[in-house]
Amino acid sequence: MPKMARSLERYPARVTTLAFLTLVLAGGGILRLPACSASEQNPISWLDAMFTSTSAVCVTGLSVRSTIDDFSFLGQIVILALIQLGGIGIMTFTSFIMLTLGASAGLRQQALMADTLGGRGVTDVRKLLRRVFVVSLTIELIGAALLWVRFSFDMSWPKAAWYALFHSVSAFCNAGFGLWNDSLVSYRGDWLVNIVICGLVIFGGLGFPVLLELLNSFQKPKWSPWHDLSLHSKLVLIGTFFLIVWGYTTLTILEWDNALKDATVSERILVPFFHSVICRTAGFNSIDLNDLTNASLFVSIILMAIGGAPCSTAGGVKTTTISMLVLNAIRRFQGFRNVSCFRKTIPQTTIERAAAATIVFFAVAVFGCLILMLIEQSGRSHREQQDSFLDILFEVVSALGTVGLSTGITATLSPAGKIVIMLLMFLGRLGPVSVMVAMSRTRRPPKVEYAHEEPLFG
């Protein structure tokens, strides 16, 4: 036990991994209870309960059972609680409770907060956690209030309040769980629902460091938001804006005479915008993905792989990671050795970590595709598969990027295939690199440093 405690203290990633794994198992055990099932004739199996728990804790949204039809009201409450715990972070909740009860924050707690919330160099952990909770709950309650007003026209007030709260929390946590089997297709032309859901997803995907910096800039006497922001926040905001615009423009062009051919004016504007925002990490959909062209699905895969910002409720490679790699490539082609942006120089070690994280992400995605194809498509030729490769690639990237969108194959997967998707969701929520660090042995310095030699490339 002392050795394990020292290991956990030295590697905060192990604590986070263990906490998320414990929450997944506990959530699956609760969802397996008969009280969480909507029907005694159609109980939730252990595998489906664990799959749903993993998807909720990892704020993914992939589901093998209908949230509204197969789970009771208690089951829906459990799913929402798992989404909230998984979105903000189980370690955040645990630390907040401990500090509220009077416990002091040691170095390990500060390291955990740095990993989870981006609070590097933080000295007042209690204040940081309080601000995170206040900001998160405020955004979720505002979103729930706006959605409640809209849903009240379609259902009773109590039911509208529950639907509004569920979808607001699910959207801010970038989970994508919904209480309609068609997600938000029935509201595809509704301006209020689309703007509120997209706003919640964007705020959740920006990350707590960016949200707190924006809040601090608003509270200053002389408001200069852009000047006061860190390089991280600037890269996140620019990357998010560019991806939304690029996704919206591309999808509009690709689907103008296809999925949007018979759409109204509002739908032609809202559907591409909604999909561009959502498919980076949230998992809602306002259009049947099977109606999209293969080109649009491939664009969606790119957006899902990039994802949101670090220390956020989003998954993927992360916008800052891609931004740094793009900046590094541009500067290298220009003949510069250093990567500079907004009068700041990004350390080369940071660029190297970004490249390593990207390589690991895509390596896991490739390996996941291979395993899933071996499990689901063994014994059948390519001629018999049609577009199934794109479906599997879409499913794998969606799981690893904790997005939750699917072309419809999730529920048809074999038990082994579902387990593969569960592992991908877990890896995606914590980050493949973090999981590798958590499982690795202690750091060992190299005993010998050999002579340098550069291999050819290009």
95 to each of 20, 128, 133, 284, how far by Cα in Å? Answer: 14, 11, 12, 31
Does the structure show a pLDDT above 90 at 315?
no
Per-residue pLDDT of 220-252, as tens digits, reads 666 666 777 888 889 999 999 999 999 999 999
> Which residues are CB-neighbours of 404 under 8 A, at least 6 positions away?
55, 60, 61, 62, 63, 175, 176, 177, 282, 283, 398
For the chain, percent of residues with pLDDT exceeding 90: 44
Per-residue pLDDT band for 267 (boundaries 50, 70, 90) equals very high
Q: What is the pLDDT of residue 103?
A: 46
Query: What's the pLDDT at 4?
Result: 45
**pLDDT of the residue at 158:** 94
The pLDDT of residue 116: 53
Q: What tens digit of pLDDT does each residue of 77-131 get?
A: 999 999 998 887 655 655 555 445 444 445 555 555 555 555 555 556 677 777 8
Q: For the full predicted model, state whether its pTM sits above 0.85.
A: yes
DSSP assignment of 300-335 equals HHHHHHH-S-TTSS--SS-HHHHHHHHHHHHHHHTT
Whether 306 shows a pLDDT value over 80: the answer reads yes
pLDDT at 20: 84
Q: What is the pLDDT of residue 50?
A: 95
* Average pLDDT of the segment spanning 349-370: 90
Average pLDDT over residues 278-296: 90
Q: Flag whether pLDDT at 406 surpasses 60.
A: yes
Look over the chain and give the mean of its residue pLDDT values, rounded to a whole number.
Answer: 83
Give the lowest-confidence range in 23-27, 367-371, 436-440: 436-440
